[in-house]
Amino acid sequence: MKSLKNRMPMNPKSSDATPAPAKAPLAGAPVNDWLNYLEAIHPTEIDLGLDRVLVVLRRLFPTRPRSRIITVAGTNGKGSTVAALERLLQASGRTTGAYTSPHLDRYNERVRINGADIPDDSLVRAFEAVESARGSVSLTYFEFGTLAAFVALAEAGVEDWILEVGLGGRLDAVNVLDADFAIITSIDIDHVGFLGDNREVIGYEKAGILRPGIDAVCADPQPPASVMQQAGAQAVRLRLTGRDYQLTRQGAGTMSLSLGDETIELPDGPLPLESLAAAVVACRHLAPALSPSQITGVVEMLELAGRFETLRKQPLTLVDVGHNPHAARWLADRLARKRQPGGRVYGIYGALADKDVEGVVAAMAPVVDHWYLAGLAVPRGLSASGLGERVAGAGVDGFETSTTVAEALEGALAAASPDDIIIAFGSFFTVSQARAASLTAC
């Protein structure tokens, strides 16, 4: 498999420099030492392609893992789908391992064994195994971490591996393992430099997780022709929303999922309904003994950090990791329904430089009354002034700028009345910093 030519430097300020050879951590070194090492061993942050990963995978796994592998791709909603399916399979009595990215607070969040974050010692053992196996093969941070997750899940001996694609699908490191079941959550424009600038091209990349003859779900209400062509060419038994299952609003706070002769109630809570529905449809195939009432009971309890998460109730302060126009449109709709008569919405926005800031602003502008723009001092992060220039270019002039998310949150809390809403969004970094700042503010 050929690598894409697109390569993103770890540190844009020094992308032309050749990194000094990194020295592997000593045996038993802490997780942070390993993460620093992973950041130093490959010259680019994103270097799509399966060649390098396949070499190391074959050394680690001479034969395919015996567990059932469920791969989840999509522009948005992947984390919610993984979390829902994970809980549903556990409720059916199966053991699960989940791999997701990125994380909010600790790297360990990326690997869950039966719902619990992986402990440090298990993660370090997995890192050590990958380091021993890779030899002279250079791996990106994500590739190394993906292989380590595979090692950890195999060591745990769980029955189901639920794997979230990091970027795209076809050339993502997760895709080195053939899926037994695949889910495509949504298809929209994001990561243009790597995946293309239209839904057909992006759909082709997402559909790269499909394998001949498997069962799959596509939750996008209008799947691109490229997805349908790939599914047809490989005789994939693809379940489509609107054709094979339907979502219908039953009233305030309740949706109905119709699947065959069954009707399953889903709460209209903090997670995207399309993602919940995709997980439920997958569950009916993967764990058919679970009853509709049991499914409803599981999804009613679902929450996921950073996904329309409530930090405080007065004023209502929320965070959401939505960072592209598709996610922003969903978020704007949820905020419009949450808004109290006469209440205002204060938006705290921090973004990475390679994101469609203008598209996000256009989606959120109808619901946000006043903007607090926060700088992100992270790789690819936009400064407050840089973000301000792009937001102003999108036609918004009612904003204030802050050096940090914490400062922006402090300003919004000072301005907001009890009936107002504060929403911090735009990046996992934005949400992580807002959550930390909220704990301090309390």
* pLDDT, tens digit, 9 for 90 and up, residues 98-138: 999 999 999 999 999 999 999 999 999 999 999 999 999 99
- End residue of a domain, out of 246, 266, 300: 300
More confidently predicted of 398 and 418: 418
Query: Looking at the DSSP assignment, which residues form a beta bridge with residue 238?
Result: 216
- End residue of a domain, out of 260, 282, 300: 300
Q: What's the residue count for the chain?
A: 442
- Same domain for 284 and 402, yes or no, is no
Judge whether 394 lies within some domain: yes
Residue 346 to residue 333: CA distance in whole angstroms:
15
Task: Give the model's confidence band at 145: pLDDT under 50 very low, under 70 low, under 90 confident, else very high.
Answer: very high
Contact 150, 177 (CB under 8 A): yes
On the question of pLDDT at 440 being above 80, the answer is: no
What is the rounded average pLDDT of the residues 136-153?
Answer: 97
So what's the pLDDT on residue 379?
87
So what's the pLDDT on residue 17?
36
* pLDDT, tens digit, 9 for 90 and up, residues 11-27: 323 333 344 457 899 99
- Same domain for 127 and 181, yes or no, is yes
So what's the pLDDT on residue 21?
58
List the structure tokens of 368: 């946000």
Instruction: Tell me what the pLDDT averaged over the chain comes to.
Output: 92
- Same domain for 274 and 374, yes or no, is no
Judge whether 108 lies within some domain: yes
pTM, two decimals, is 0.92
Contact 184, 204 (CB under 8 A): no
* pLDDT, tens digit, 9 for 90 and up, residues 269-310: 899 999 999 999 999 999 999 999 999 999 999 999 999 999
Judge whether 1 lies within some domain: no
Judge whether 342 lies within some domain: yes
Judge whether 368 lies within some domain: yes
- Same domain for 11 and 137, yes or no, is yes
Contact 130, 34 (CB under 8 A): no
Domain that holds residue 379: 309-441
**DSSP states along 392-419:** HHTT---EEEESSHHHHHHHHHHH--TT
Judge whether 255 lies within some domain: yes
Helix (H, G, I), strand (E, B) or coil at 439: helix
On the question of pLDDT at 8 being above 90, the answer is: no
On the question of pLDDT at 38 being above 90, the answer is: yes
On the question of pLDDT at 2 being above 60, the answer is: no
Helix (H, G, I), strand (E, B) or coil at 45: strand
Contact 205, 196 (CB under 8 A): yes
Task: Give me the CATH number covering residue 30.
Answer: 3.40.1190.10
Task: Give me the CATH number covering residue 361.
Answer: 3.90.190.20
